[in-house]
């Protein structure tokens, strides 16, 4: 006879938070949303923390390099989708790692004998307008000069014109010697009104560039998530089929954190994948696993070595796994049970394994509920797919704009590795839909509103950190009629577009 769960499978909309005392010290500007992203031992600091508890989903319509850059600048992390060939995925990761770095290794280099045509080709390839001229044409050659957009006119110069004739020569450059701090480099940039500062060694070999725009970007984005080398943090999705080839390439590209992308993570395939990664790389590679919805699934992946565990099956806005296969669980019920198992695991073994709640976010307050129920960070697809930075097309339908949004379980995504068990290489049926979401503009503008709501609600709960929220939160189940009561009722709403106020 089957095992029956006596509790009803519940989702976030069936809960509300009960306020605690809001002390005077508890104001939104004092709230910290820093949260652990990977496992750590009791008494130790997590090797990787997020500055906001947000991750963008491992989806073609959501997480490419533009989303990864935008979200990392705001303090979260993107997992670049793995349903593409290895080179394309690593190229995206490389673009993120090179976008922002206090000390940047040059990827745009020519020699004095290079031509105008070479300069244009390098600019088109990298998208960068600052080109180092070195004796070898490499990033660590002897610095001979610089070429920027101010040094030439592509429509006037002949294509065979030598770089040495129009570059700014080394003798005219302001540069720094190795050993200076990033603060000292930025001071030099401001003192001499530079856009970039070359840093060289004692033999005049180029080491790095420091850019003015990076300093300004950091001031505009104080929560940006950086690695030890001051580069943006980026994640990537992998599967359980080609990980022996994909993981080494992503590691070489500098990816900070990986996640096995699967609709059901309670499997030997995931355990074997984690075991191989940990055997080959040890703690150098951080790997999340999932998805699971109960205690047994969590413990299995935790014991296998997962650095974080992802919770949720069938709750995504484009997911039809529950319809097609009858597999899944209400996200709130799944998260509550797994969080209890995680806390027990921490108590017995002294190892804390963060939980990522994946799916079922309809309203902003659902994020807060997920955190209160035990999640350390939230992975979302639909939320991020609406923004300019997502890779999908913006389309106009009637007078409104939308962005295309499709699931990894659709034939359009062709992501059979995520769903197929065994050696088959095709989908027999779909577990996702192809859809549209309302276009919402820039990520940063919308994310700021969401974060403001979360911080305000945390203050109502008397919490200044996510850890305090978990300990202090009081949750109540709501009825269908109280849900109606929570919105506008018994009034005739004015149409905002008719108001002149």
Residues labelled as active-site residues: 319, 418
Q: Which residues pair with 168 in a beta bridge?
A: 146
- By the 8 A CB rule, do 235 and 256 touch? yes
* Residue partners of 365: CB distance under 8 A and separation at least 6: 453, 457
Integer CA distances (angstroms), 47 to 94, 281, 284, 483, in order: 21, 15, 10, 41
The Cα–Cα gap between 128 and 283 comes to: 34
What are 266's two structure tokens? 């309670």
Q: Half-sphere exposure (CA, 13 Å, Cβ side) for 197?
A: 27
State the Cα–Cα distance between residues 484 and 6, nearest whole angstrom.
Answer: 27
Q: H or E stretch including 338?
A: helix 331-349
Q: Assess contact for 286 and 256: CB atoms under 8 A.
A: yes
- Write down the residue that tokens 């905002």 correspond to: 496
Q: Please state the three-class secondary structure of 135-192 as a single string.
A: CCCCCCCEEEEEECHHHCCCCCCCCCCEHHHCCEEHHHCCCEECCCCHHHHHHHHHHC
Pairing of strands 355-358, 351-352: unpaired
b or e along 63-97 (b: 16 or more beta carbons within 10 Å of the residue's beta carbon)? Answer: bbbbbbbbbbbbbbbbbbbbbbebeebbebbbbbb
Backbone angles phi, psi at 358, to 5 degrees: -120, 110
Q: Do residues 382 and 315 lie in contact, with contact meaning Cβ atoms separated by under 8 Å?
A: no
- In sequence order, which residues have a C-beta less than 8 Å from that of residue 485 and are 6 or more positions away? none
Helix (H, G, I), strand (E, B) or coil at 258: strand
Spatial distance between the Cα atoms of 321 and 333, rounded to a whole number of angstroms: 17
DSSP state of 373: T
Tokens of 190: 């401001």
376-396 CB burial, b ≥16 within 10 A, e <16: bbbbbbbbbbbbbbbbbeeee
Please name the residue that has the structure tokens 């349903």: 83
Distance separating alpha carbons of residues 211 and 306, to the nearest angstrom: 37
The size of the chain, in residues, is: 501
């Amino acid at each position: 006879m089957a095992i029956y769960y006596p509790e009803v499978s519940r989702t976030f909309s069936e809960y509300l938070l009960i306020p605690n005392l809001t002390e005077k010290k508890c104001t939104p500007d004092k709230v910290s949303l820093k949260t652990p992203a990977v496992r750590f031992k009791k008494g130790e600091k997590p090797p990787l923390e997020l500055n906001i508890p947000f991750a963008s989903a491992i989806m073609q319509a959501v997480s490419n390099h533009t989303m990864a850059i935008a979200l990392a600048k705001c303090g979260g992390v993107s997992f670049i989708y793995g349903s593409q060939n290895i080179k394309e995925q690593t190229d995206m990761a490389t673009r993120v790692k090179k976008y922002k770095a206090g000390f940047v290794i040059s990827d745009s280099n020519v020699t004095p004998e290079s031509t105008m045509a070479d300069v244009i080709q390098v600019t088109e390839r990298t998208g960068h307008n600052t080109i180092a001229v070195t004796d070898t044409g490499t990033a660590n050659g002897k610095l001979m000069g610089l070429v920027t957009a101010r040094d030439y006119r592509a429509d006037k110069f002949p294509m065979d014109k030598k770089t040495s004739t129009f570059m700014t020569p080394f003798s005219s450059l302001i540069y720094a010697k190795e050993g200076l701090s990033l603060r000292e480099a930025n001071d030099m940039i401001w003192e001499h009104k530079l856009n970039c500062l070359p840093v060289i060694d004692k033999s005049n070999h180029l080491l790095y560039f420091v850019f003015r725009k990076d300093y300004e970007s950091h001031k505009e984005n104080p929560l940006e998530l950086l690695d030890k080398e001051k580069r943006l943090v980026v994640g990537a999705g992998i599967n359980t089929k080609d990980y022996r080839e994909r993981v080494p390439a992503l590691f070489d590209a500098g990816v900070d954190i990986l996640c096995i992308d699967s609709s059901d993570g309670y499997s030997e395939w995931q355990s074997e994948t984690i075991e191989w990664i940990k055997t080959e790389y040890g703690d150098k590679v951080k790997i999340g696993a999932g998805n699971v919805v109960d205690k047994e699934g969590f413990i299995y992946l935790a014991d296998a070595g997962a650095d974080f565990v992802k919770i949720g099956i069938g709750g995504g806005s484009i997911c039809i796994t529950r319809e097609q296969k009858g597999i899944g669980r209400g996200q709130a019920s799944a998260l509550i049970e797994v969080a209890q198992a995680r806390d027990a695991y921490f108590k017995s073994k002294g190892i804390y394994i963060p939980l990522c709640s994946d799916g079922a976010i309809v309203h902003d307050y659902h994020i807060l509920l997920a955190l209160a129920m035990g999640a350390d960070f939230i992975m979302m697809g639909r939320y991020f797919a609406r923004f300019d930075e997502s890779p999908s097309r913006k389309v106009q339908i009637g007078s409104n704009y939308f962005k295309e949004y499709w699931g990894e379980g659709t034939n359009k995504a062709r992501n059979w590795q995520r769903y197929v068990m065994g050696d088959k290489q095709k989908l027999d049926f779909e577990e996702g839909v192809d859809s549209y979401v309302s276009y919402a503009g820039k990520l940063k503008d919308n994310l700021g509103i969401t974060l403001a709501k979360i911080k305000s609600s945390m203050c109502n709960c008397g919490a200044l950190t996510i850890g305090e929220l978990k300990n202090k939160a009081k949750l109540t189940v709501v009825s269908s009629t109280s849900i109606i009561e929570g919105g506008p009722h018994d009034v005739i709403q004015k149409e905002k577009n008719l108001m002149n106020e």
